Structure formats: structure tokens, C-alpha cells
Amino acid sequence: MPLIMNVEDINDLDGLAPRACEVCHRKDKIFRCSACQAVYYCGRDCQVEDRECHKIPCKLLKKALDRYKLEEQKLREWPGDLDSPANAFEQDVGHFWRNMATRPYMVARLDLAHIMLNSYGTPGGPVDLVQIILDHYFDMLRLSRSDDLGVREIIPGLYVRLGRDQDAYDFMTWFAAVNEDPDHEWGNVDKPFLDTKDANVFEEPLKRAWTVTSFLDLSHAVVVLLIKVRVLLDLYAIQNTFIALTGVIPPEIIAIICGKLVRSDVMFRHQILLSTPEKMASLTKRIKSQVRELYKAVGKYNPYFWNLMVNDPDACVLRTPQYNGYAQRSEQEALVILAFTFAAWYETPGAIKMLRDLAKMR
């Protein structure tokens, strides 16, 4: 199981790994492990070499995958009774959890995704697997909008890991708005669902959801902050490039170079690359202020979180957080949310350094 403590230089972590052999990292002519369907090998030699490391997560994943498939088959064949009608995949989409017969299937699917995430979805994991994990969680949310298993806390961090910052922000903005409506009918499939598009990432953080510390949506606040940090890092890169190259090469060439430097898809959507230096400086100042505000809100709400993120991120793997029954503002809550978010932070070069700098400022 990959751990941060085993990474010689965390700056070497730069996003997710491409599809490749688990041992030699060859990218062509590879095959997927038929048992766990999570990792790839180029041939038997590499598979044998990795056996000692792979056998335990492989068994766990295969067991979870078999259970998930069995529960899906049982649910599809369920004849129905007075409390749990049949044909849930046709009749109950959107409010799955109300049908008691769906719950073993949903729990099995949740467990499978969690095991994938903890086994090979840690920082620097394979991009294919992270996409599969996201697909599982997102489809569970489609089936059960009420989200009784809390997958909405996990999805934004996975979006960011896949470079889909705008999708993550739209997702969290939609939930922040709907949570303001006490009469929202979560099981009403005729209502719009996750239909927020191109929300303004540069706007001030939404107070009730992400900065008011009486009840903070901790997971979403942490990911909103990361998106702002990623934007800020891109702004710094653009500004430094303009300073270094202005007067040396034409402005349009500088803009192309800057486009190669930025990581966040947000930057392209909002045409920041075409801004004047004055507008860029003003935007940078505004985002820096928002970053500080969000950082303070998270630290005030849960005093354990930032220390764990910066100094002991492996705790969320090694100490097995309790996903059910933790208290708000507790260390257990910090561990759970850390498990959902730390990979996205560590896969963003410069993000953890910015957290350390914020801690010094505080």
C-alpha cells in the first residue's frame, strides 16, 4: 500500500500515474490482473515480481468485487415483496435507499470503491483506477440522491485528481445551494439534479457552506480551498513567466507558454491567460485572501485537520478511520475527511508547501 512516508520527495508526486505496468511502468502491450482488475502488468515476470506486494490487496479487491457482483445479481433477480418492490434498477432510480432490498447492493458497492481507494487509489495511483472509483461513487449518487452513504464527500477530491476542477466546484456549489433549501425533495427525480455548470471559481467562498464554522461542510471546504490553491499556483506561474519573458519574445508566444504551465481547467474556461498584468495582479490578491479565509475556517472548525494533512497524512490509512458515528470537530472526523482529500493535495506540487506557509502566517 503506497504511503506518503515512503515517498523520498513529495515533490515527485505530480498528478496520477498513466496506465502502465505496475513494476516496470511499460505502457504498451499490458494486461490487467484478472482477479482484482485494478492493476496492469506487461508480462508474467513483472506479475511474479510484484506478487508479494500485490497478493493481499488483490485478495481483498477480488472478494469485494465478487460480493458486489453477487449483490447486483440478487437485486436484479429480486421478486419483490410489500416493503421492497422488484425491478429497482428500473423503478427506483433516484431514491434507491428507500427500497430496503437495494441496501446490501449499495453497501457492497461502497465497500468495493473504498477498498479500491485505499489499496491503489492513494497519491500517485493509476488514473484508470481513480476514474473507476469516481464512476462507482457518482453512479451510487445517481441511484440514491439522498446519499445516505455520504459519497458526496468523496467525489469532489476525485474530480480534482482527474484535473476536473470546474466539475468539482460545480458539484459542491450545487450541494451548497440545495442544502439551503429545507424543503428540497431529494427523492423527486423530476427536480433538476447536479445541474450547476460553470460556477464562478473566483467568487468569494460561500459563507454558510464553507466558511461559517458553526457547521462547516468540511470535505467540500477542504476541496474548495485546494481548487483556489491550484488557481493561485497557476497565477504565480503565469506572472513569473510574463516577468521573465516580456520583451524577449512576442506576447502571443508567452500566452502559449503560459497555457502549457497551468494545471487547472478553470484557467482555460475563464480566459485568464488573456488578462492584462494589472488584472492578473488584482485577481491574485483576491484569491490569496480567499485562500487565507478558507484555511482559517477549516482550522477553526476542526483543529486536528491541518496538522494531520501536513504532518501525518498516512494516519488516515494506518489508523482506519470510522466512517460511521464520528463526532463533528473530532479527530475521527479529521481522519475520515483526510482519507477523502489528502491524495488530491499531495498530487498538486506546491500545495502542501502553501499549507506550511499559511501555518507560519497564522
User: Can you tell me the distance from the alpha carbon of 142 to that of 213, in angstroms, rounded to the nearest whole number?
Assistant: 29
Report the pLDDT value the prediction gives residue 271, as an integer from 0 to 100.
Answer: 65
Quick one: which of 153, 75, 62, 155 has its CA closest to 107? 75
Report the pLDDT value the prediction gives residue 280, as an integer from 0 to 100.
Answer: 82
Backbone angles phi, psi at 238, to 5 degrees: -65, -45
Rounded-to-5 percentages of helix, strand, coil across the chain:
60, 5, 35
User: Can you tell me the distance from the alpha carbon of 311 to that of 158, in angstroms, rounded to the nearest whole number?
Assistant: 22
- Residue written as cell 464554522? 213
Query: Which residues, 6+ apart, have CB-to-CB distance to 260 below 8 Å?
Result: none
For the chain, the domains span: 164-362
Q: Which phi-psi region, left, alpha or beta, contains residue 194 (left: φ > 0; alpha: ψ -120 to 50)?
A: left
Report the pLDDT value the prediction gives residue 100, as an integer from 0 to 100.
Answer: 95
Write out the three cell numbers for 92: 427506483
Amino acid in the structure at residue 193? F
User: Can you tell me the distance from the alpha carbon of 281 to that of 277, in angstroms, rounded to the nearest whole number?
Assistant: 6
Report the pLDDT value the prediction gives residue 182, as an integer from 0 to 100.
Answer: 82
Question: Exposure of 280 by Cβ count < 10 A (0-12 exposed, 13-18 middle, 19+ buried)?
Answer: middle
Report the pLDDT value the prediction gives residue 3, as an integer from 0 to 100.
Answer: 74
Quick one: which of 210, 217, 231 has its CA closest to 354? 231
User: Can you tell me the distance from the alpha carbon of 228 to that of 244, in angstroms, rounded to the nearest whole number?
Assistant: 24
Report the pLDDT value the prediction gives residue 343, as an integer from 0 to 100.
Answer: 94
Report the pLDDT value the prediction gives residue 267, as an integer from 0 to 100.
Answer: 64
Q: What is the pLDDT of residues 236-266, one digit of tens each?
A: 888 877 778 777 788 777 777 766 677 767 7
User: Can you tell me the distance from the alpha carbon of 228 to that of 288, in angstroms, rounded to the nearest whole number?
Assistant: 8
User: Can you tell me the distance from the alpha carbon of 47 to that of 195, in angstroms, rounded to the nearest whole number?
Assistant: 44
Report the pLDDT value the prediction gives residue 121, as an integer from 0 to 100.
Answer: 86
Mean pLDDT per segment of 10 residues, for the chain of length 362 residues? Answer: 66 82 93 93 95 94 97 97 92 94 97 93 90 97 94 97 95 93 82 92 91 89 97 87 77 71 67 72 93 96 96 87 80 94 94 93 68
At CB < 8 A and 24+ separation, what contacts does 9-13 make? 10/346, 10/352, 11/349, 13/123, 13/124, 13/346, 13/347, 13/349
Report the pLDDT value the prediction gives residue 269, as an integer from 0 to 100.
Answer: 60
pTM of the model: 0.92
Report the pLDDT value the prediction gives residue 2, as an integer from 0 to 100.
Answer: 62
